[in-house]
Amino acid sequence: MLIREAGILFQGIPIIFTSYHRASKDQTNLICSSGLMSGLLTFAECLMEPVEYFESSKYSIIFKKGKVIDCFGKKQETVAFIVLDKDERLEKYLYKTILPLLEKLLKRFKNQFNGCNLTKMAQFEPFKETLDKLFGTGTQTLEEKVVSLLF
């Protein structure tokens, strides 16, 4: 399973986001695609609860919701997500590996940013290192893994 993208959404806006392997060569609008992802999740949850992932013919998008307290003391919902190439083994790894990783991501985010102003995006930039540490092994193609072993 190749990881394409990972991040955290707050009110449909990607506050932390990293792209490992673009799904297409065309430049996409990050805000629009994140808003669409958030809208789909909200719509699906109106019909059924909980929604853990969406699957298309090429990709799987896995979600994990969490709460963080903002600078005003209000609990705000955040959504950690990961976009993977579609793989028949998704169900096998979903509960053992993927959802626990997203839970760990949310926990680290909450520990670091509880009580912060969530609308100031620049403060989240260093947190991308945490994303890379958590998802780094799944972000390389076979060729990249071989090259990293040689050098």
> Alpha carbon of 49 to those of 9, 41, 46, 106, 111: distances in Å?
19, 10, 7, 20, 27
Q: What is the pLDDT of residues 89-124, one digit of tens each?
A: 888 889 988 999 999 999 999 999 999 998 888 899
Q: What is the pLDDT of residues 25-38, one digit of tens each?
A: 555 566 667 777 77
Place of tokens 């793989």: 87
Q: Is 75 left (phi over 0), alpha (psi -120 to 50) or beta?
A: beta
Instruction: Tell me the average pLDDT of the chain.
Output: 81
> Quick check: 6 pLDDT over 60?
yes
Global pTM? Answer: 0.80
DSSP, res 127: G
Confidence at residue 21, expressed as pLDDT on a 0 to 100 scale = 67
> Alpha carbon of 87 to those of 12, 27, 119: distances in Å?
26, 25, 35
